[in-house]
Amino acid sequence: MAALRRNRVKHKLQDGKLAAAVMGPMSANLADFIGPLGFDGIWFEAEHGEVDYGDIPNLSRACDLWGVTSIVRVNRNVPGIIYRTLDLGAQAICVPHVNTADEARAIVQAAKFHPLGVRGITAGRWAFGVENALAKANDETLLIVLIEDIVAVRNLPEILSVDHIDVFYVAPGDLGQSMGYLDRSHPEVRATVERALGQIVASGRVAGTLVTDATVNGFLGLGVRFVTAGWTPWLTAGAEGFLAKVR
């Protein structure tokens, strides 16, 4: 019998290590290209991007080829959306706008089988050929909640009390908007992000956030252990450098 796919990001975080995922426009072929580069996870966008249910099997298969965690950000905290995304092969779920402990607990209930939750019983492609797959699934399912509203920051101590959430990810864009700023680099937004990350780290939970080449070292210095970065700025920088030489 086959073994259940190991969730690389989840186990690295459980071992106290850092994990990095790449995000941006994605196809299965692009995910296959990124696979051997060394990232721990690939983030697929089903909230703001083009990813739909029919895309998830091949996107996650491309990740499986390289032992990279397939992460799907869904668009709502709805049980059917969460467990259907997992059924189709995603190893990790990222849920936006988690503002209360009850909302965080609802994610656990939707994503985990008994005894941790009430995820709808089925054995999707992730379980093919795996003996006792349902009993093993909880150990390989990664849950990420987005702290992206000022109300979530205010409720953070209660949200952090919810077990079986793997990453508490502070997202600066919508957080800034909820504070009245469209510029995520505004000093008040940056201070709020850093304060929230500090609370997460101090609680002993895993903090995550969006980084760039310029900011990654600073966030790692704050104790952040899960970072994501978009690949499009790297393409832009490379193209600009090349064209400057040509011109």
| Catalytic site positions | 48
Provide the token pair at 45: 């966008």
Find all residues with CB under 8 Å of 144, minimum gap 6, and list them: 71, 92, 93, 94, 95, 165, 166, 167, 169, 208, 226
Phi/psi class of residue 25: alpha, beta or left (left: φ > 0; alpha: ψ in -120 to 50)?
beta
Considering only CA atoms, which of 41, 109, 119, 114 is closest in space to residue 86? 119
Instruction: Please tell me whether the peptide bond between 36 and the residue prior to it is cis, using omega within 30 degrees of 0.
Output: no
| Dihedral angle sign, alpha carbons of residues 108, 109, 110, 113 | positive
